[in-house]
Amino acid sequence: MEAEASTFETCEMLATFLASTPLLSDSWKLCSHANATAPQGFVANQVEDVCYVAFSGVQAVTGWYPGCRNLVPLDTSDNGPFSAWRRQGEEEEPVMVHAGFLHMFLSTFHTESFQTQIFEIMKRSKSVVFTGHSIGAPIASLSALWFLSHFQSVSSSPSVICITFGSPLLGNKSLSRAILQERWGGNFWHVVARHDIVPRLLFAPLTPHLHFLLQLWHLCMPSPYLIEPAVQLHEHQTSELFRFVSAYVEASTREEGAVRPLFCPFGNFMFCSNEGAVCVDNEMAIVKLLHVMFVSGSAGSSITDHFDYGDYFGKVSLQFLCTRGFMEGDLPESSYEAGVELALQSSEIPSHVIHKDSLFQFQKSKPMAATRLRVAVSGLVKDCLKMAKRMGLTPNLNSAGVAIALSKITPLRAQIEWYKASCDDSDDQMGYYDSFKQRGASKRDFKVNMNRIKLAQFWDDLIGMLETNQLSHDFHKRAKYVNASQFYKLLVEPLDIAEYYRSGMHRVKGHYIKHGRDKRYEIFDKWWGAKKVFDEESNKRSTFASLTQDSCFWARLEEAREWLEIVRTEGDTRKLCMLWENIDKFEQYARRMVEKKEVSIDVLARNSSYSLWIEELKELRLHLQQFPPSFPRLLDGRVVP
């Protein structure tokens, strides 16, 4: 029996449960009210301690032309609402969103009414639901995204959920990844009617058809009863648009030989049909279901479905009260297979009906009136759901394996800690860094060096798994690994620096910080920098740190030692001034570290490189004061040009 047999497929149960709550119906009612009464605006409604904020689907979208799929960075300005989303590192693709949708959000965000509403939410509400239909939905998503990023550090801030109906896609894959990394995927729920064309629109370049579609939206959004005659009146245009979008949605499902779509889904997608609903959060599964469910419809239903969400909720809620079963002789082999079968029923995916040719060639088939062929579609959907389950389980299983591996290397780290303690207590008073740099051929020194190499291999392997998406997207946000990587960096990087200068690599490649520092330490810097430590500045140390809080302290010292050597022989006044400026900066930096007790006691050991450097600097300044050179002027031992 398959591995899935021992698991559960819950996408149908989750959707049914969500539909049984008042969240969807209350959100949709307010969206309909906003569409009818607040064009290009929003309405709010307080229900006990929950505030609903609905954005109208009647919007003037700036930025659709030319091209209609323009993506711009989310962090458009340093002081904008999304300035915190600026990605660190040039190798990372920036988080980008649709230019027109971002413009609409910013226009709303800067209004006095929106700011007043946010103030009232913070004062009166325990929860806030941002919601929107059609073009209003991306504004709701951006509002929720801003609220989460802006108020996440406030412990008393309301909980946030975003529910959209028929939302077009908003941003690129980096946006989806960033939301997963922040653990906000569960805050976004996108409800999609089975044949609704709008969630599929931005898979295709829509310039020839967009003007007609926007006119239709503005006409029918306040009065949905007009949609049927409007579709009949524009039957030719809707048919052409349906075929055009179908082709691009189908192309987006191909895994090989295709250009990656500009837009990528994020959060949870709830697919509604006449038989129920299913919830999916896997990106690839979402795209496949967007395709499979869309091509089983017609040009007319692709437009009318965009206005029928209220009808779907009643049907989904009714399924909550219905008892479903299976035909005799067709019983599932496991609870997992039973869940998949229920999901198929709720998706209204036919196991025997599809349009002529095949599912993947639907756009070339004859119209809906053509003879239908019996083609097994359910197998494709089953594979899609199973793939989503496996893709969801594998990173979690890998993360569990990493946790076990981390526990196994803990003794290696403990041995290095013991080595540091013994160096700090040694009679030679050299300290941890210098003892390792000047180590001999003892068994203890060899063991510590091997442990250093093994620990580096573990963390390099972990980073490799993270970069190839083998671990959970939020792995680097987990306190266990952020803290473990920081402790490793503070403990072991001084040894890497010592080995770098001991082996003379600085003469071959250049100094450590610019030319020798391993990528893993730069990554750990980002992990630690992203961690929110709100009371760090207010906690002053009463004793010296167990580990120097700047893991590159010794690398900076090695550069300062070289500057001091060059100063003794340098004859160029301009270069000499620059050298003294660098020396002064390091001296001030080191003094601050010592005063704040952010260094370990090994830094201040009598025979450490730092203590010896301080003595050499004092002697040199004293010598220069007694015997000043003729070319520069000196003030308090410093060169003044």
By annotation, the residues acting in catalysis are 134, 196, 306
User: Tell me, what amino acid is at 260?
Assistant: R
Whole-Å CA distances, 611 to 110, 112, 245, 580: 56, 59, 71, 19
Q: For the chain, what is the total number of helices (H) and then of strands (E)? A: 23, 11
Q: Are 56 and 42 in contact (CB under 8 A)?
A: yes
DSSP label at residue 87: P
Q: Helix, strand or coil for residue 161? A: strand
Alpha-carbon distance 303 to 217, whole Å? 10
CA distances to 5, 6, 326, 535 from 2, in Å: 6, 8, 21, 50
Residue that has been written with the tokens 């601050």 in this structure: 592
| Side-chain-side CA neighbours of residue 370 (13 Å) | 15
Q: Which two tokens stand for residue 511?
A: 């100094």
Residue 253: phi and psi, rounded to 5, are -85, -10
Q: How many CB atoms lie within 10 A of CB 204?
A: 21
- Lookup: tokens for 92: 């990372």
Q: What is the CA radius of gyration of the chain?
A: 32
Q: Please name the residue that has the structure tokens 């290009």.
A: 40
Cis peptide before 66 (omega within 30 of 0): yes
Q: Is 626 exposed, middle or buried (0-12, 13-18, 19+ CB in 10 A)?
A: exposed
CB 172 within 8 A of CB 96: yes
Task: Give 128's strand partners.
Answer: 51, 160
Q: Torsions phi, psi of 297, nearest 5?
A: -100, -155
